[in-house]
Amino acid sequence: MNLDFHFFFNSILLGVGLAMDAFSVSLANGLNEPCMRKHRMCGIAGMFAFFQALMPVIGWVCIHTVVQYFQAFEKMIPWIALALLGYIGGKMLWDGCHCEEEECGCGRLTFGALVLQGIATSIDALSVGFTIAEYQLTEALLAALVIAVVTFVICMGGLLIGRKAGTKLAGKAGIFGGVILILIGIEIFVTSWL
């Protein structure tokens, strides 16, 4: 096992790269729920961190067991991300356009929607299993842990920024958050084909 500076530096860079979609979705969640409390923010960031760590490990396992099945599934990843983020973003957009003025401004993300967001923003991280395929299991798990920590920190930043902006935007924050999620889904879909 070679746990040197290069290993940790690469793991941090992987974490930053993988966390960008989760950051944007966290920003949208903060916009949608500007009255979010700290423990809820930690739970949301933790959910994204969990999925960002889980997917590379699943990819690593697939590489070492059922490569041919994983390669066939890889073509579906952009479609799944587009469908999930399009659905959640569309719902936020709909709710933002159709909510009564007194109930607008502090929408609450359900646990199910949060799980879908976590899967949608991290499903492309399955392919990181190819990147870390030469790692031993303990190295792959440690890299996943570093990715999780980086994702958590970045998502907390996104939630804080979104929450501050959401307070200023009040009732229209859900619309902006929904548009952001839809655009992220489209971006994941389009960039996967380039």
pLDDT per residue, tens digit, the chain (194 aa), is 678 888 898 889 888 888 888 898 898 888 888 888 999 999 999 999 999 999 999 988 887 887 666 666 677 777 877 787 788 778 777 777 776 544 455 667 789 889 988 998 888 788 777 778 788 999 999 999 999 999 999 999 999 998 888 666 655 656 766 777 788 778 878 877 76
**Residue pointed to by tokens 């009040």:** 170
What pLDDT, on the 0 to 100 scale, is given for residue 102?
44
Cα torsion 153, 158, 164, 166: sign: negative
What pLDDT, on the 0 to 100 scale, is given for residue 181?
73
Q: What is the pTM of this model?
A: 0.75
What pLDDT, on the 0 to 100 scale, is given for residue 110?
85
What pLDDT, on the 0 to 100 scale, is given for residue 148?
96
What pLDDT, on the 0 to 100 scale, is given for residue 106?
60
